[in-house]
Amino acid sequence: MADTAGTQLRVGRLLKAHGLKGAIKVELYTDDPARRFVPGAEFSLQVPDSSPWYGKNLVLRELRWYNGHAVGFFDGVEDRTAAEGLAKAILWVTHVEEEAPEDDAWYDHQLIGLAVVRDGERIGEVAHVDHLPAQDLLIVKTRGGEVMVPFVSAIVPEVDLAAGTLTVTPPPGLFEELPEAEAVPEASAETTETETTETETTEADAAAPAEAERDE
């Protein structure tokens, strides 16, 4: 990565060539792609020492969306071969402290590592942030594995950077299986069996709808 004064922020990763004219699919790490990925934006590159792009910067011509995926067009990348040479490169920008922060917006590096708290109890830690066209997802590492949490105010009502915590009010079942999930089908089966016994004359007709209800 080229040496640049100031705080460096990782804002994206180049995935693979798209088409034949030098376009490259981009995995976005920034919470504000509309500001970071504008024509003329310049990125430092994190690439292997052996790459011809080592120590160089990359300038964006245009960012487009194809089927929900970000695709970038960059100066000096004119064909598929050149685009393939940039696969897996990490894009960095210099963060300017004077930039005006947005309401209810945080940089990825501010969120990663925060303790996730529910009802006053720590249940995990933010491991990663995924940026999707519809909304952002927080990937929370818990004892039971990773959980994808929609980053919306209804589920994440508070982010306290000073305290190092992120409060969640998740819907039932987001962080654990519902206890009654297995009990309900068993109860339904017992009820169906009883009703079928009491109506022996319609046993064949009653069995079919009961099985269809259990599948739902």
Q: What percent of the chain has pLDDT over 70?
A: 71
What pLDDT shows up at residue 33? 84
What pLDDT shows up at residue 8? 75
What pLDDT shows up at residue 177? 62
What pLDDT shows up at residue 165? 96
Closest residue by Cα to residue 26 from 62, 78, 76, 79: 62
What pLDDT shows up at residue 64? 93
What pLDDT shows up at residue 187? 44
What pLDDT shows up at residue 41? 93
**What would the pLDDT profile of 57-93 be if each residue is shown by its tens digit?**
999 999 999 988 899 999 999 999 999 999 999 998 8
**What would the pLDDT profile of 152-178 be if each residue is shown by its tens digit?**
889 999 999 999 999 999 998 888 764
What pLDDT shows up at residue 216? 38
CA dist 46 and 28 (Å) reads 15
Round the CA-based radius of gyration of the chain to a whole number and report it: 25
pLDDT confidence tier of residue 102, bands split at 50, 70 and 90 = low
Q: What percent of the chain has pLDDT over 90?
A: 50
The reported pTM is: 0.49
Tell me the DSSP string of the chain. Answer: ----SSEEEEEEEEEEEETTTTEEEEEE--S-HHHHS-TT-EEEEE--TTSTTTT-EEEEEEEEEETTEEEEEETT--SHHHHHTTTTPEEEEEEPTTSPPPTT---HHHHTTPEEEETTEEEEEEEEEEE-SS-EEEEEEETTEEEEEE--TTT--EEETTTTEEE--PPTTSSS--GGGTHHHHHHHHHHHHHHHHTGGGHHHHHHHHHHHHH-
What pLDDT shows up at residue 176? 76
